[in-house]
Structure 1
Amino acid sequence: MLRSAPSLKFPFLYPPEYSSWDDEQRAWKTTSVLFDQSHHMADLRVEGPDTKKLFSDLGVNSMATFGKDRAKQFIACSPGGRFIGDGILFGLDDDRYSLVGGPLAFNWVAYQAEAGDYDVKVVKDPPTAFNPGRRQMYRYELNGPRSGEILAKAQGAAMPQIGFFHMGELTIAGKHVRVLNHTMAGAPGLENTGLELMGPIDDGPTVLEAIVAAGEEFGMRRGGSRAYLTTARESGWIPLVVPAIYTGEDLKPYREWLNPRGLEGHASLQGSFDSDDIEDYYATPWDLGYGNIIRFDHDFIGRDALERLADQPHRRKVWLVWDSSDVMDVFERSLFGDGVRPRILDLPNSEYGTLIFDKVLAGDRLVGMSTWAGYTANARAFQSLAMVDEDAAQDGAVVTVLWGQPDGGKSTPFLVPHVQAEIRARIRLQPPD
């Protein structure tokens, strides 16, 4: 079903570019870039006496010290220990949390809150394109080395000291603003380089206008959707994997609860990795680089399975830097060649569906899957993120990415027929400069 779904992309309801996507990419390294996240992310707000218990029961993370003005990357797994979804969990108060991100974790938590015996109230705020009403919160992301200076000017006072993944408060244009210190792209480890601002939707235009005015002095750029999607590749976050929900009788009630028109029922699964077993696409937290945040200090869904998997071999998340000559060969043959040509490499993002997984080969051996391919002006290279076998995850090792559908796109509506292409790539264990 997923392999034959139409190859469609998620609608981003804001401009693709303000200056140009490569200029906007460079801005989060040299000055700062401002992204509007008010429209495309789901927001699930939960409050009540059992709020912490709900997220503790569902997350691999420890919730022992979580509460007001804290945040974390929340990870949810299936009973079998396979990844379902993630998101940023905000502690708005000790018993009031907000889970923000894609729909996979959003739906899982909403279902468990409804099906379980939890004393909580849940408010769903879907993305604008799927929202029957209007969004309730604005979200702006300011990334780059001048972010702290820009916000200091916008509020007319020095920035407060906010710890990493902690929240603080600002006043901008007379509006109360909550801010999270984290890094989506830019310069990790430097103070105030990644800041997410949020507040009531009606305050959004006023706050935005003040930040844009303050940013002029520092050369701040507005960021469009084309550059926004490349931040994940630079930071190393794999945005979408196949959620481990399609198999198992224990998950049948959840499958029946889900909206058939949602992402889980309409995602297009593409790429050269093609298996008849959907479980071959499932991932563990270790595969995605989340092994270091698993904590067995509490009971949660998937704990027993993860304890059994802990000492077994895992795949490792890596960056793949694609060989420029091979990339140029695909560009030339796909754009100017005769006959059936390779699948086009779009710029700056080459995702042509929802879930893209290409084979990563070491010689003739399959060693992993590549995803989220595209170009970044900061590294001046075509790159992708990948999950590869631990014994193959050697910094500098050369592997091959097999680009394109096994059947040349015949089974997927809207895909132009093409042939597969082999592209060499070099493994990097840290973000390439």
Structure 2
Amino acid sequence: MSTEALTGLSLQRALEQAGNPARMLRSLPAAHYTMPFQPEYTTWRDEQRAWKHTTVLYDQSHHMTDLYVKGPDVKRLFADLGVNTFTTFGKDKAKQFVACNHDGYVISDAILFGFEDDEYVLVGTPAAPNWVQFHAETGSYDVSIVRDERSEANPHGRLTFRYQLNGPLAQRILEKARGGPLERIRFFNMGRFELAGVPVRALNHTMAGVPGEELTGLEIVGPADGGPDVLAALLEAGTEFELRQGGSISYVSTVFESGWIPSPIPAVYTDDRLGEYRSWLPALGLEGFAGIGGSFASDDIEDYYATPWDLGYGRTVKFDHDFIGREALERRASGPHRRKVWLRWDQADTARVFAESLYGEPGQRPIGVDLPITSFTHFQFDRVHSGDRLVGLATFSGYTVNNGCVCSLAMIDEAAAVDGAEVTVLWGQDPGSPKPNLEPHVQTEIRATVSTRPLS
């Protein structure tokens, strides 16, 4: 359906007109969300090396939706919606918030900040803020909300700046910028201090790799009008440490080292209990206008849904409170699950696909492999086989110099999730797809090796 056809419609109405959610999303153009900041400052390869060897700075001030929720019922609201425990959550804490539908499928995940005991800020793609805002407005919760949209949808300007320092020299750069030592901040906790005369909050977390004793990742948040001064102070302090500014190209590729599967398809398209929510959502939002692509094709939208275990969030599911989806997840907990893994593409097959996509016979070429992001649509699902058996789905694919290979983040059966096991990824759009803007191509198999741990 075109943008014009969807304008003014709810998601529910658009689905009724389309007749089948999976076919509707599979027919949408292949497109990525465009990050609203500079693509490269040096080169994307140099910026990738920096988060491994020096430090990189990303300006995250513009591309995410921030939902501020404040009031005496803020913890109850999030506990009712999140699979996470909230027993000790509050001021200066943070967590990866995960919300599911009634059947235990993930609607979205996002970072939740505890600014105060009665004020939380949810930051991520629009899917999680949408779900929380709907329940805040329609449920019996004593909370107020302020929605701070991403820059391209926000004519009033953002409320805050957000800078991410990532790399082994992050702590030294920050201490030089503020002119003194930094008090220890525990992982996924926040500290408060001044930087360039601006009061900031700083969350200890890393976008690539794993946390260690040294502070290797810090997300710094403060009032928007102080952003330029803080940025200047960080860049000046980082000069002697070979700090790199990171552009949008390398930014997206951090997931291939952290292992975060970005933007799972929101499990909101089925279930009559979600009809009111679908009527509340606009058709032109993420849920209605982000396309499905890849070699896995199904007319059942639930075949694209994921559970928390599929995405590596099984450890976050805590049955110490009642929440939407609890009963379904309790039933699933002891059963078999898919597991999040890395699939290292075979070097020879990768080179073959590159060569054939450029020089092969017209009509017989595989789809091109762009770098560093090879995925060609928003929600990408490629078939993963062990022999003739479908064992899972590959999602986001791409390359970093630190991994030294093209890889896919995938969800595969636990029995197949064995380090060193060989599988194949079916690369290319399904032949019967109505997707309008992909180059003509044929599907091809790419051998890959399973890793249950980060590749770098």
TM bin (shorter chain):
over 0.9
SS in 2 for 1:87: strand
1:135 equivalent to 2:151? Answer no
Tell me the amino acid that sits aligned with residue 180 of structure 1.
L
Q: Distance in 1 between matches of 2:146 and 2:93?
A: 20
**Matched position secondary structure for 1:7:** coil
Shift of 1:418: 0.7
Matched, 1:121 2:144: yes
Q: Secondary structure at the match of 2:235?
A: helix
The answer for unaligned runs of 5 or more in structure 2 is: 1-23
Shift of 1:72: 0.4
Aligned pair partner of 1:346 in 361, 367, 370: 370
1:403 to 427, 438, 443: 427
Three-state SS of the structure 2 residue aligned to 1:15 is coil
How much does 1:83 deviate? 0.3
Three-state SS of the structure 1 residue aligned to 2:211 is coil
> Match for residue 14 of structure 1?
37
Instruction: Supply the distance in 1 between the matched residues of 2:369 and 2:214 (Cα, whole angstroms).
Output: 36
Contact 1:186 1:193 in 2 (8 A): no
**Amino acid of the structure 2 residue aligned with 1:53:** R
Correspondence 1:381 to 2:405: yes
Q: Distance in 2 between matches of 1:351 and 1:35?
A: 22
Match in the other structure for 2:130: 107
Q: CA deviation at 1:350?
A: 1.1
Are 2:186 and 1:163 aligned? Answer: yes
Q: Which string of whole-angstrom CA distances, capped at 9 and with x for unpartnered residues, describes residues 84-125 of structure 1? A: 001110000000000001111111001111110100000001
Aligned to 1:392: 416
8 A Cα contact 1:271 1:358, kept in partner:
yes
* Helix, strand or coil at the partner of 2:402: coil
CA contact (8 A) 2:104 2:328 kept: yes
Partners of 1:206 and 1:422 lie apart in 2 by 50
Mapped partners of 1:181, 1:129: distance in 2: 28
Q: 1:190-230 CA distances to partner (integer Å, 9 max, x unpaired)? A: 32101000011111011001000000010010000111001
Secondary structure at 1:113 match in 2: helix
8 A Cα contact 1:11 1:129, kept in partner = no
Q: Which moved more, 1:212-221 or 1:186-195?
A: 186-195
Q: Is 2:87 the partner of 1:58?
A: no
Partner of 1:246: 269
1:313 aligns with 2:331: no
Identify which range, 9-18 or 65-74, moves more after superposition.
Answer: 9-18
Pick from 364, 367, 381: which aligns with 2:388? 364
The answer to whether the Cα contact below 8 Å between 2:339 and 2:414 also exists between their aligned partners in 1 is: yes
Secondary structure in structure 1 of the residue aligned to 2:29: coil
CA contact (8 A) 2:173 2:234 kept: yes
Q: How far 1:187 sits from its partner (Å)?
A: 4.9
Residues of 1 paired with 2:210 and 2:271: CA distance?
42
Q: Distance in 2 between matches of 1:295 and 1:57?
A: 12
SS of 1:75's equivalent in the other structure is strand
- Number of aligned residue pairs: 432
Q: CA deviation at 1:134?
A: 1.2
Residue identity matched to 1:348: P
Q: What's the CA shift string for 1:373-409, capped at 9, x where partnerless?
A: 011100210011000001111110000000001117x
Q: TM-score, normalised by structure 1?
A: 0.98
CA drift at 1:186: 4.2
CA separation in 2, counterparts of 1:303 and 1:186? 31
1:78 maps to amino acid? N
Shift of 1:34: 0.1
Q: Report whether the alignment pairs 1:412 with 2:435.
A: yes
1:77 aligns with 2:100: yes
Contact kept, 8 Å, 2:210 with 2:258, in 1: the verdict is no
SS at match of 1:370: strand
Cα shift at 1:250: 0.3
Moved over 6 A (4+): none
Q: Distance in 2 between matches of 1:186 and 1:34?
A: 15
2:114 is aligned with 1:94 = no
Q: Is there any run of 5+ residues in structure 1 with no aligned partner, and where?
A: none
